[in-house]
Amino acid sequence: GVVIPKISKQNLQEAILYLPSISDQEAIISTDSILTDIQTQVDILRRSLWQQPLDHGEIKESASSINQEEAFTDWVETLPFPLASILWTY
């Protein structure tokens, strides 16, 4: 047989739960968000590589620039002034 573990409401109410501070929780969430974004970029590049294997050079270059702060800065600098100034505000 299979035993399904249970916890009573009383035991749950008496349990001590250790949580990181709010600032640590925010930092953890921020880091997780960055990692999720990186994983998404990797997934897209991998899919592109298998769909267009002859584009491997461009895909490799894109992979090398994942998570580089300069990439955003370089991209913003190519935008027209009104749009770039809005992005710099945020």
Least confident residue range of 12-26, 50-64, 70-84: 70-84
Sign of CA dihedral 33, 38, 41, 47: negative
In a domain, 2, yes or no: no
In a domain, 44, yes or no: yes
Residues 6+ apart with CB under 8 A from 44: none
Span 56-75, pLDDT tens digits? 999 999 998 887 766 677 77
Work out the average pLDDT over 13-21: 92
> DSSP class of residue 54?
G
Residue 71 has a pLDDT of: 65
Instruction: Report the Cα 86 to chain-centroid distance in Å.
Output: 23
- Quote the tokens at residue 82: 């009104």
In a domain, 16, yes or no: no
In a domain, 38, yes or no: yes
pTM over 0.85: no
Residue 90 has a pLDDT of: 66
Number of domains in the chain: 1
In a domain, 31, yes or no: yes
Other Cβ atoms less than 10 A from the Cβ of 59: the count is: 19
Give me the domain span that covers residue 80.
21-89
Look at residue 54 and tell me whether its pLDDT is greater than 90: yes
Nearest CA to 49 among 38, 36, 60? 60
